[in-house]
Chains A and B, each alone.
Chain A
């Protein structure tokens, strides 16, 4: 990284609170030790419901989504994908949140929520199809209650709020029926908090008391721009100004993310309105495979965050507590290898889409000008078929 140059107004930025600050909810330290008192006490009871099987399941999820990410990154490097958006480092934020959601809850992702997709039952090949360029993310959102990747920063937050307003009109909030009451989770990054759509989403949800959890993964970097270019205060404190609670959670602590998300989802489903969770985490890799983070951040920063790795700390705790043993960890590695091999084989064998897909589903009902061009393209292609005598 080059020298930052001469002094500017930007130099009044506050020192980065690299450890997340005293308000951050943490249930597991980076060394894998349980935190018992302090702010964590309000949330710790949610962990009582988790069986050892559940806890081992969380570990399996963390490892498998990281392996999906590694394999997809490798496939991009080998030219099989046009681009890949890595979640490396954010696994605990996503698995903790995704496993806190109930079947009827609905997720509105941005584009990096592969771990949420995993929890909602979306096969990673669906995501790979998007980044290979065979479609635009063609899974059925309503089959998984996981909306498509919206890509335009912040757009999905308003869709999520609108969906939550629909939930209210369906009477699916505050009934006390755990299978009926529904919450929405709208995902965003730290960069998105500067978007108008996100702030408008906060306003609409607040004035309507909508059942939504705004889940911000603060991974410290919006491509090349640090938090200080997006906000003057910690992101979770933005919620105060909109009139709902905000909480910062250690995004690399799967137990804390799970517990805090459970609490905020319960709040939303019971009719108490929206909340903001800031999952304080770190983008260990590049923004996408097209990015070069060495141009804007120090290697030492990455090294520091490696010490807070979300999987290592959870593995240490599971082992120390006797919840999982070496045989279990080895079996998960084996599963990860099998998953990676399947993804590789299916990606390499994935056929290109039919050219007619250009015109499919542009509209529900016919549109003359679309149909005309479909005919035109078919005639054009047919003209070559004739020349070849086919």
Chain B
């Protein structure tokens, strides 16, 4: 094993490159992804190495980008769409929900649409409006799509390759504020360390489970480390996939720890945490010592960036929820 220390951004680039090397049908399409390499440089140098037919600088029209990606998939290609920012996916929402999610079932299995839609998501970068959103609940609510989050360089490298190989459409979220955080990745390994839709137990604990995905995984790990200094043993689960949801990983953990706090950046109301709370409560009712609590963005539109530190869950708010859980 020759592990390399690299960032999420560079790991994604390496994963895309490896997928394109392996399969000539893999095509990238999106805004500014060619010469510029994308506004976050995730596709840097790929157009130079694979040509303009495989790394497409698309017109600025998200419905067009997603719709034509679906059409290319119908011709046998495996397109990977880059949506420039989370808040720009909505013009493409119709194509994603009405066509991408439904073509396989509508055709009773005759058609496959292996399209990956990459979306840099979440806040914390001081951006203007529409650049800091967490819209996973819209897509998780649409059966026919699979919805995953990478939270670290190793997952970024492997999950993007697995998403491209997946015959189902995958919404692939990237935690943009963590793009430049580093971790160990074995770029030469031949096999992914775990399945695309499996949750990962990041840190074992006995007293309470923290469940998160994407950018909040690091926040939860920080909270667990801080809690340990106070003698509380927190278990941290990186869900990695919200559709399908690895419910067994959650129930196994909660049956042990008897307490669960879910953390995400999206607003609480009708957010994905509500699904987790209901699903876990239904299955673990007699094991729970406290209600499932949620630490989320507040029930308001994402604020102006000078206020985002109040809006986003952080270590202190997670620990506050841990305290409230123990207070029951």
Do the two chains bind?
A: yes
Residues of chain A whose beta carbon lies under 8 Å from any beta carbon of chain B: 135-143, 147-148, 150, 152, 155, 157-170, 196-197, 200-201, 203-204, 207, 360-370
Residues of A within 8 A of B6 (CB): none
Q: Chain A residues with Cβ under 8 A from B69's Cβ?
A: 162
Partner of A362, one of B63, B77, B94, B144: B144
**Taking A140-B107, A204-B59, A367-B244 as contacts, is the C-beta distance between A158 and B167 under 8 angstroms?**
no
- Asked if B99 and A360 make an inter-chain contact with CB atoms under 8 angstroms apart, the answer reads no
- Write 6 A-B pairs (CB below 8 A) sorted by A numbering: A150-B99, A162-B71, A167-B75, A362-B104, A363-B168, A368-B245
Contact yes or no, A360 B167, CB < 8 A: no
8 Å CB interface, B53-91 against A: 53, 58-59, 61, 63-64, 66-77, 91
Chain A residue numbers with a CB within 8 Å of B103 are 148
Judge whether B64 and A361 touch: CB under 8 Å: no
Additional A-B contact list (4), CB under 8 Å, known A170-B75, A201-B64: A135-B108, A158-B71, A166-B72, A197-B67
Chain B proximity of A352: nearest CB distance (Å): 15
Structural contact, B71 and A367, CB atoms closer than 8 A: no
CB distance from B31 to the nearest CB of A (A): 13
Interface members, chain B 87-106 (any A CB < 8 Å): 91, 94-95, 98-99, 103-106
Please tell me the size bucket of the interface on B.
35 or more
B residues less than 8 Å from A207 (CB atoms):
59
Q: How far is the CA of A105 from the CA of B108 in the complex (A)?
A: 23
Cβ 8 A contact of A159, one of B27, B67, B109, B243: B67
Q: Please, which residues of chain A bring their CB within 8 A of the CB of B304?
A: none
Q: Is B247 close to A, CB under 8 A?
A: yes
> Contact partner of B74 among A159, A168, A204, CB < 8 A?
A159
Given contacts A165-B68, A166-B76, A196-B91, is CB(A367)–CB(B247) below 8 Å?
no
Quote the shortest CB–CB distance from B47 to chain A (angstroms): 15
Chain B residues, CB < 8 A from A367: 143, 146, 243-244
The CA of A197 and the CA of B72, in the complex, are separated in Å by 16
| A166-B95 CB under 8 A given contacts A361-B104, A364-B112 | no
Tell me, yes or no, whether B22 is within 8 Å of chain A by CB.
Answer: no
Give, as a whole number of angstroms, the nearest-CB distance from B48 to chain A.
18
| B246 CB–A CB distance under 8 Å | yes
- Interchain CA distance A197-B64 in the complex, whole Å: 7
Asked if A163 and B168 sit within 8 Å, CB to CB, the answer is: no
B307 close to A (CB within 8 Å): no
Q: For residue A197, which residue of chain B has the nearest CB?
A: B63
CB pair A165 B71 closer than 8 Å: yes
Q: Is B187 an interface residue (CB 8 A)?
A: no
B-chain residues with CB within 8 Å of residue A361 when the two chains form the complex: 104-105, 107-109
> Which of A143, A159, A169 sits near B77, CB closer than 8 Å?
A169
Contact B104 A162 (CB under 8 A): no
In the complex, what residues of A have CB within 8 A of residue B202's CB? none
Shortest distance from the beta carbon of A196 to any chain B beta carbon, whole Å: 6
Q: Is the CB of A147 within 8 A of B64?
A: no
In the bound complex, do residue B244 and residue A162 qualify as a contact, i.e. CB atoms below 8 Å apart?
no
The 7 closest A-B pairs by CB, nearest first: A162-B71, A158-B67, A166-B75, A162-B68, A200-B64, A364-B167, A361-B109
Binary contact readout B221-258 vs A (1 if CB under 8 angstroms, 0 otherwise): 00000000000000000000001111100000000000
Compute how far the CA of A25 lies from the CA of B275 in the bound complex, rounded to whole angstroms.
Answer: 59
How close is B242's CB to chain A, nearest CB, in angstroms? 10
B247 contact set on A, CB distance < 8 A: 368-369
A163 and B74: CB pair below 8 A? yes
Contacts of B77 in A (CB 8 A): 166, 169
| Residues in A neighbouring B246, C-beta threshold 8 A | 368
A141-B107 contact in complex given A155-B67, A162-B69, C-beta closer than 8 Å:
yes
Q: Shortest beta-carbon distance, B49 to chain A, in Å?
A: 17
Beta-carbon contact of A204 and B64 below 8 Å? yes
B256-296 contact mask (Cβ, 8 Å, vs A): 1 or 0: 00000000000000000000000000000000000000000
Contacting pair B143 A362 (CB below 8 A)? yes
Answer whether A155 and B95 are a contact pair too, CB < 8 Å, given A197-B63, A363-B168: yes
Please indicate the chain B residues that have their CB under 8 angstroms from the CB of A162 in the complex: 67-75
Choose among B27, B68, B75 the residue that contacts A158 (Cβ–Cβ < 8 A).
B68
In the assembled complex, the Cα of A136 lies from the Cα of B106 at a distance in Å of 5
Taking a contact as CB atoms under 8 Å apart, the answer to whether B104 and A155 are in contact is no
Do residues A204 and B244 form an inter-chain contact, with CB atoms below 8 A?
no
Is B111 an interface residue when CB atoms closer than 8 A count as contact? yes
> Cβ of A364 and Cβ of B72 under 8 Å apart?
no
- The residue on B at minimum CB distance from A357 is B108
Partner of B107 from the list A138, A161, A168 (CB cut-off 8 Å) is: A138
